[in-house]
């Protein structure tokens, strides 16, 4: 596989669309479309700048999930608390800010921040950190944007496992982290 050209085809407010032309294994040209949150100047920049964080938050034996309306699928799904870093903001500051804005909770301890991983590798170069935190406080999402419909709640292992087995609508990161939380007694 060899990339032969890279072209921005649309400049949206939040997403930029690109066409990538490749030579496939048989030597035939193939066009592939992706989106990015960034203005990319060249193919060398693909996937090189993390855009934010997804937060795996626990409070004792409880797992935090957001039930939020997501326009891309036109339904409510269970998701992790997450958000984009602001200009000049550290990943740690982003974790504190996003957690508080979406839930009213505070970070008690940041246990681990994983290196960036791809969020939707089939269609985008977007990467985000995955942070594991212990939280404290009372749920009160008073600062949520008027553009977000979010209901934050804590779930125990038994309830989470039942939700997973019954096919509740999850984002992939929320589902896999919730599943491993359930299996790690």
What is the CATH superfamily name and number for domain 52-183? Nucleoside Triphosphate Pyrophosphohydrolase (3.90.79.10)
pLDDT value, residue 132: 98
For the chain, give every domain's residue range. Answer: 2-45, 52-183
Tell me which residue of 56, 62, 151 sits closest to 109, measured CA to CA.
Answer: 56
Judged by DSSP in three states, 24 sits in coil
- Over the chain (185 residues), what is each successive 10-residue block's mean pLDDT? 92 93 94 92 87 96 95 93 93 96 95 95 92 95 70 96 97 96 87
Dihedral of the CA atoms 93, 95, 97, 98 (nearest 10)? 150
Q: Give the H/E segment covering residue 131.
A: strand 127-136
Phi-psi label, residue 152: left if phi above 0, alpha if psi -120 to 50, beta otherwise = beta
| Gap between the Cα atoms of 112 and 118, Å rounded | 18
pLDDT value, residue 147: 74
pLDDT value, residue 145: 66
Would the CA dihedral through 150, 164, 126, 96 be positive or negative? positive
pLDDT value, residue 8: 95
pLDDT value, residue 161: 96
Tokens of 110: 């940041």
Q: What is the pLDDT of residues 100-122, one digit of tens each?
A: 999 999 999 999 999 999 988 88
Tell me which residue of 137, 108, 117, 111 sits closest to 54, measured CA to CA.
Answer: 117
Report helix angle 157-165 to 172-183, nearest 10: 130
Report CA-CA distances (Å) from 2 to 16, 25, 26, 35, 125: 22, 8, 11, 19, 17
Say what percent of the chain tops pLDDT 90.
77
Judged by DSSP in three states, 149 sits in coil
pLDDT value, residue 141: 66
pLDDT value, residue 72: 85
């Amino acid at each position: 596989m060899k990339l032969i050209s890279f072209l921005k085809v649309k400049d949206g407010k939040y997403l930029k669309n690109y066409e990538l032309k490749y030579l496939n294994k048989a030597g035939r040209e193939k066009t592939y479309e992706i989106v990015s949150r960034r203005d990319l100047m060249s193919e060398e920049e693909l996937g090189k700048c993390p855009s934010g964080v997804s937060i795996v938050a626990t409070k004792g034996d409880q797992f935090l999930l957001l039930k939020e309306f997501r326009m891309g699928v036109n339904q409510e799904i269970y998701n992790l608390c997450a958000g984009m870093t602001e200009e000049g903001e550290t990943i740690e500051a982003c974790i504190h800010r996003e957690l508080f804005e979406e839930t009213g909770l505070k970070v008690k301890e940041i246990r681990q921040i994983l290196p960036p991983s791809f969020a939707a590798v089939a269609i985008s170069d977007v990467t985000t950190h995955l942070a594991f935190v212990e939280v404290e406080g009372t749920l009160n999402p008073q600062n949520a944007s008027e553009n977000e419909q979010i209901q934050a709640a804590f779930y125990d292992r038994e309830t989470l496992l039942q939700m997973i087995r019954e096919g509740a609508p999850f984002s992939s990161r929320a589902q896999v982290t919730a599943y491993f939380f359930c299996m790690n007694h």
